[in-house]
Amino acid sequence: MNLILLCLIMVVLTVIGYWLGQRQAVSAAGGDARRLHSLPSYHGFYVALCALLPAIVLFVLWLIVEPIIAEQVLISRLPAEVQSQDPNALRLLVGDIKSLALGNIVSREIDASLQAAADGYASVRGAGRLGMTVAVLALLLAGAAWAWRRISVDHRARNGVEMIASGIMILASTIAILTTLGIIFSLLFETGRFFEKVPFFEFLFGTKWSPQTALRADQVGASGAFGAIPLFAGTLLITVIAICVAVPVGLCSAIYMSEYAGPRLRALAKPALEILAGVPTVVYGFFAALTVAPFFRNSGEALGLTVSSESALAAGVVMGIMIIPFVSSLSDDVMNAVPQTLRDGAYALGATKSETIRQVIVPAALPGIVGAVLLAVSRAIGETMIVVMAAGLAANLTANPFEAVTTVTVQIVTLLVGDQEFDSAKTLAAFALGLVLFATTLALNVVALNVVRKYREKYD
């Protein structure tokens, strides 16, 4: 709560700075604001920004750096023989000392030396907090004082404020790029570490997936095999099923809505499809696991088929329902964008409405429709919750939709949820799978967005 108090103090000081700056500007002009280069409020903003920005930067940096330094201090204070022990044990000990200092539960006996180390750590952290409060507030006041002294009739406060504002805006728009870079580098880095343990070709072309690695050398049945082909095949199978559901239904409803439906039906059906897109995926997962999967299993039993209760069919069909709106709304858009003259031409030749649609409109809109389907495919490949809840965990290499298969996203979740040890091949494999997923969906998106854009330009 100390931090929130500090933030509040910073905000209050900034507001006071704004007010003082404004007043100072007016009094510098001898009470006649028209003599100023910039409006008094710009002088106020100038003071406020000069005070707040450096303070915020320092604040954030301190929050990131201080715990690291405190940990170094803690380790350097430990006895030499403790410091030289195996890094994992040292990390555990440091973790315990930290939680003891915070008053949390500790997994070992608390003895005097441990308590002393914890107290030392707590005092370092306390000193750090105090130092931060003092430093941040001092910087804030210094910035405000500097800006305040610069106020004069000719001071170009508006230009300064606008320059700072555009700097902030540029920074905000680079966050999107930083996110992409962050994704790429974090995935590449962890994947690189994964390929140090598991050969590249074994991962991409191996047909056996069993990510349990042995914890002890003498453990039985935990060799660890990282052949991802069964996962790719399972993802493909479920995606194909989903597309088989979504494309006919989505496309036909888009055609009906853009060409046939009256305004009343449109007003009803379009929101219904949008709701379908807005339902959280975890809800679809629950629906798939508890309603659709048992239904398929029971009907399969009635027909004399063995359908697994985690069949690819159930997950695929529900995923298909989920992506219907992606196909339909984008196809609807592109078909509406086909110029009326093409329709009129076809009618003039005596074509019926359906002939016009099939032979003129759909071919004209085909690139856009293909783009929509590609986007839907990318959505289906990356979808997680439905398959986590309704598809299986066993990596079967099969094309039979009645059997259980597993997918890339399911494996990422199972590998990373629960206890993790960050340098085992098991957890690193999740990042390798994540990289494959990211690359695939990125390629699909780039192609799809380009196709759609090219198509839009054609009729604009």
Partner 1 sequence: MTEVAAPITEIRRPDLSGKRVARRYAAERRFRAYGLTAIFIAVAMLGLLLVSIVSKGYSAFVQTYVELEINFDAAKIDPDGTRDPAKLAAFNYQGLVNDALYAQFPDVTERRERRSLRGLIGNSAGIELRDMVLADPGLIGTTREVAFKSSDDFDTFVKGHISRDLAEADRRVKDQEIAWIDALEADGQVDVRFNTTFFTTGDSREPEQAGIWGAAVGSFLTLTITLLLSFPIGVLAAVYLEEFAPKNRLTDLIEVNINNLAAVPSIVFGLLGLAVFLNFLGMPRSAPLVGGMVLALMTLPTIIIAARAALKAVPPSIREAALGVGASRLQTVTHHVLPLAMPGILTGTIIGMAQALGETAPLLMIGMVAFIVDIPGGFTDPATVLPVQIYLWADAPERAFVAKTSAAIMVLLTFLIFMNAVAVLLRKRFERRW
Residues numbered 43 to 72 that lie near partner 1 (CB under 8 A) are 64, 67-68
- Using CB under 8 A as the binding criterion, the count of chain residues that bind partner 1 stands at 92
Stretch 104-163 residues interacting with partner 1 (CB under 8 A): 158, 161-162
**Would you say 116 or 393 has its CB closer to partner 1?**
393
The structure tokens listed for 308 are 């697994």
**Would you say 138 or 168 has its CB closer to partner 1?**
168
Under rule CB under 8 A, residue 280 binds partner 1: yes
Under rule CB under 8 A, residue 182 binds partner 1: yes
Q: Which stretch binds partner 1 (CB under 8 A): 49-57, 77-85, 130-138, 276-284?
A: 276-284
Member of 80, 105, 112, 172 binding partner 1 (CB under 8 A): 172
Shortest CA distance to 384 belongs to which of 322, 330, 327, 432? 322
Compute the least distance from the CB of residue 111 to partner 1, in Å.
Answer: 27
Compute the least distance from the CB of residue 244 to partner 1, in Å.
Answer: 13
User: What is d(CA 427, CA 416) in angstroms, rounded to the nearest whole number?
Assistant: 6
User: What is d(CA 350, CA 359) in angstroms, rounded to the nearest whole number?
Assistant: 13
Member of 309, 384, 398, 400 binding partner 1 (CB under 8 A): 384
Stretch 152-171 residues interacting with partner 1 (CB under 8 A): 158, 161-162, 165-166, 168-170
Member of 29, 242, 357, 429 binding partner 1 (CB under 8 A): 357
For 356, the enclosing helix (H) or strand (E) is helix 353-356
**Would you say 87 or 304 has its CB closer to partner 1?**
87
Stretch 399-438 residues interacting with partner 1 (CB under 8 A): 409, 412-413, 416-417, 422, 430-431, 434, 437-438
Confirm if 319 and 380 have CB atoms less than 8 A apart.
Answer: yes
User: What is d(CA 57, CA 8) in angstroms, rounded to the nearest whole number?
Assistant: 16
Give me the DSSP letters along 217-257: TT-SS---EE--HHHHHHHHHHHHHHHHHHHHHHHHHHHII
Confirm if 335 and 254 have CB atoms less than 8 A apart.
Answer: yes
Confirm if 338 and 365 have CB atoms less than 8 A apart.
Answer: yes
By CB atoms closer than 10 A (0-12, 13-18, 19+), residue 417 is exposed
Shortest CA distance to 284 belongs to which of 293, 271, 297? 293
Stretch 223-252 residues interacting with partner 1 (CB under 8 A): 248-252
Under rule CB under 8 A, residue 174 binds partner 1: yes
The structure tokens listed for 452 are 């759609």
Q: Which residues pair with 404 in a beta bridge?
A: 311
Under rule CB under 8 A, residue 180 binds partner 1: yes
Member of 206, 224, 300, 382 binding partner 1 (CB under 8 A): 382
Q: What CA dihedral angle connects 240, 246, 248 and 254, to 10 degrees?
A: -150
Under rule CB under 8 A, residue 8 binds partner 1: no
Compute the least distance from the CB of residue 183 to partner 1, in Å.
Answer: 5
Stretch 256-275 residues interacting with partner 1 (CB under 8 A): 256-257, 260-261, 265, 269, 272-273, 275
Q: Which stretch binds partner 1 (CB under 8 A): 29-37, 112-120, 360-368, 445-453?
A: 445-453
